[in-house]
Chain A
């Protein structure tokens, strides 16, 4: 089976590879993972947490001795990206939680990523140092200044190898541009600009300029009482640097073309699925709110996640999605209690695999779901320490809806709603996935024959 161009036939078996993090009773809130992202080659995997920290894992080179194991991910660098702040003017607490990380494509030896909390975006440079200069004239080996009178000869400092050191430095800080909370950042395909989106506005930045940004979308009404929807996610088209989409809390997606006007308040395309008015309930709008929007790698499709479904839309067809997948429809009869415990507001993300043939999203009870767009098969898997023997094959899970529960099934009432998988990532070309389960990061791979 060709890796990356996989279909979810019965031949695809997912295996446990690694788990990062500790087993704790009573998780420290700072350890909760809030974002996961592979870089463009899949060599690096970054996580951000509620404590404002970023941890980057690097895939080790595959050794010839271990044919049956693909390269494992080990810690490469970790740093404190954001710190908690207090806005004194507004008496507003600014959380350090990392909302999103986005990698820049690699252009030199260093790696660059954008990380953001609610208010500030930062560009971080992660670089390696494996040599250091030795043999200075005016300093001795410990760095102390030498008395010039004792120097009788000159030498040329040379570079000597040293233990690898990985340094992370903040290169740009893009601050004070958002009144509301940033939910998305997206690097443009021109590699010169990126956008940041909050609840009501989207700004366009140039990487080199930190004290200015262009506002490209503003949906704030003149009278806030007229507010009916907010921006929930935004992304640039993977190839067309003038095109981007943003999703709303009302379940709609707007595609905008920056060539049309400076302020893209008028959309170029508007994607909305008509709703049967007789089906409308108190919960309709809440569960239709889109929590994530992602372009396919091809740029032809967009995928959206709302509370109960994942939908695939063709950019050429605005009036309805081409595919709808039920993630956990059995929750429809639990909406009252999910509203009371706030779970109905959980924001699940969704991802494409490298070939756009399979999509994945998370659910509760540490379950996550994959849908094969070609075969229409789907599978539910679980991220759990019980299945964490190396190369252990994950067994598909099933939620029982009706009365009779089979042996391996779990009933809806037994689901643990505190174990939610909101963030997942898929390697850009291989069948390797990273799944964030609260404070643990699981890495799964498909079975290597």
Chain B
């Protein structure tokens, strides 16, 4: 009986030691990062970062889907899924494309502050639907 107790004790001690070590080393880096994120965005959902992103991933490019806001700042700078911009209809879409081409931005993506729907498009306003047939620079240009 006493032997059994002796055997149990070392195990318990090891468990406690382990806990002590962990506390000494600090929280896991992931947990620390999570705490940082929650401090910045308190409205972040309690569920782990899963299904909200899944829904957004599925609905990339679909009309009328409003991005799930973490905060207004994040909504403006963060675009979780590439190419996610919603348009009212095809005329809206083409007007937005025409505006972007006129601005000639070295753009990284669609302008999120773009206002569309300010006037009714006519055929003259719309750009050619075909994409530019510019040859890829991999095929032309410098070949080393």
Contacts and interface: CB of A to CB of B under 8 A. Distances in A.
Nearest to A224: B55
B37 to A, nearest CB: 5
Contact of B37 (A31, A51, A181, A339): A339
Interface in A305-340: 332-336, 339-340
Contacts of A51: 131-132, 134, 136
B78 A341 contact: yes
Given A55-B138, A336-B33, A345-B80, A80 B143 contact: no
Contacts of A96: 131
Interface stretch (B5-13, B24-32, B112-120): B24-32
Nearest to A28: B106
B28 A53 contact: no
A249 to B, nearest CB: 7
A195 interface: no
A178 B24 CA distance: 52
Interface string B23-54: 00000111111101110100010001111011
A18 B143 CA distance: 8
Interface string B73-101: 01001111111011111100110000000
Given A75-B143, A227-B51, A342-B80, A91 B28 contact: no
B136 A180 contact: no
Contacts of A88: 89-90
B58 interface: yes
Contacts, number: 168
Interface in A139-193: 180-181
A74 B83 CA distance: 32
B50 A281 contact: no
Contacts of A386: none
Contact of A279 (B28, B61, B93, B131): B28
A390 to B, nearest CB: 8
B80 A21 contact: no
B63 A31 contact: no
Given A249-B54, A279-B28, A284 B48 contact: yes
A91 B49 contact: no
Interface residues of B, number: 61
Given A228-B50, A333-B32, A49 B136 contact: yes
B109 A29 contact: yes
Contact of B50 (A28, A80, A285, A388): A285
Main secondary structure of the interface of B (DSSP, over half): loop
Contacts of A21: 137-138, 141-142
Contact of B29 (A33, A92, A333): A333
A388 B143 CA distance: 12
Interface in B63-78: 63-64, 74, 77-78
Interface string B97-129: 000000000111100000000000000000001
B1 interface: no
A417 interface: no
19 contacts: A21-B138, A21-B141, A25-B106, A30-B132, A31-B137, A49-B138, A55-B139, A84-B131, A86-B93, A91-B93, A181-B58, A227-B51, A230-B58, A249-B50, A279-B28, A281-B48, A336-B34, A342-B80, A390-B144
Interface of B: 28-34, 36-38, 40, 44, 48-51, 53-55, 57-58, 60-64, 74, 77-83, 85-90, 93-94, 106-109, 129-139, 141-144
Nearest first, the 3 closest Cβ-Cβ pairs linking A and B are A26-B106, A91-B63, A335-B33
Given A55-B139, A230-B58, A339-B37, 17 more contacts: A20-B138, A20-B143, A22-B142, A28-B106, A29-B107, A49-B136, A51-B132, A51-B136, A78-B139, A88-B89, A91-B90, A95-B61, A199-B58, A227-B54, A281-B48, A345-B81, A439-B137
